[in-house]
Amino acid sequence: MQFLSEDFVSEWGSTERPALGNRSGLVVIKVDGGPDGKVSLTLELAEGLIVDAYIGSVRGRDLELTMPYELAVGLFLCKADPAAEYMKGHLKMSGDMELWLDLLPAWRKRVTEGGEPQLAAETTF
């Protein structure tokens, strides 16, 4: 399946994983420069768990993340550190700083300690 396609996002969103912090909210991720141009996806978090993920951008989001396609691939494959990329300005954040500061350490730990996800073997980039 194609990275960031509807099928991919649905499969990725339903994958069981540890909580990303303990906060709830809507996170919109905007990815530029992919094969299909700009893609937006929305994650619904409940107490740090992803309870829904889908293509599209919603109003009332708590947090918005913007990144280039290459970085999205690197983050998915656990080859890029979200904190380092944020500090370099490659990963941009706007919105609820408390949610970001809760999400970032857990995300960083998953990326730096988790290894490549199983879904990667079924994904084309």
Q: What is the CATH number of the domain that holds 30?
A: 3.30.1050.10
Tell me the torsion sign for CA atoms 56, 57, 58, 61: positive
In a domain, 104, yes or no: yes
In a domain, 116, yes or no: no
In a domain, 80, yes or no: yes
In a domain, 115, yes or no: no
> 7 pLDDT exceeds 90?
yes
| pTM of the complete model beyond 0.75 | yes
What the block records as the tokens of 110 is 């998953």
Structural domain harbouring 82 = 6-110
In a domain, 14, yes or no: yes
pLDDT tens readout for residues 43-96: 999 999 999 999 999 999 999 999 999 999 999 999 999 999 999 999 999 999
**2-7: average pLDDT:** 96
In a domain, 1, yes or no: no
Predicted local confidence at residue 112, as pLDDT = 84
Contact 33, 68 (CB under 8 A): yes
Domain count, the chain: 1
Instruction: Give the integer Cα–Cα distance in Å for 7 and 4.
Output: 8
In a domain, 60, yes or no: yes
What the block records as the tokens of 102 is 């809760």
Tell me the torsion sign for CA atoms 48, 7, 5, 8: positive
In a domain, 65, yes or no: yes
Predicted local confidence at residue 114, as pLDDT = 79
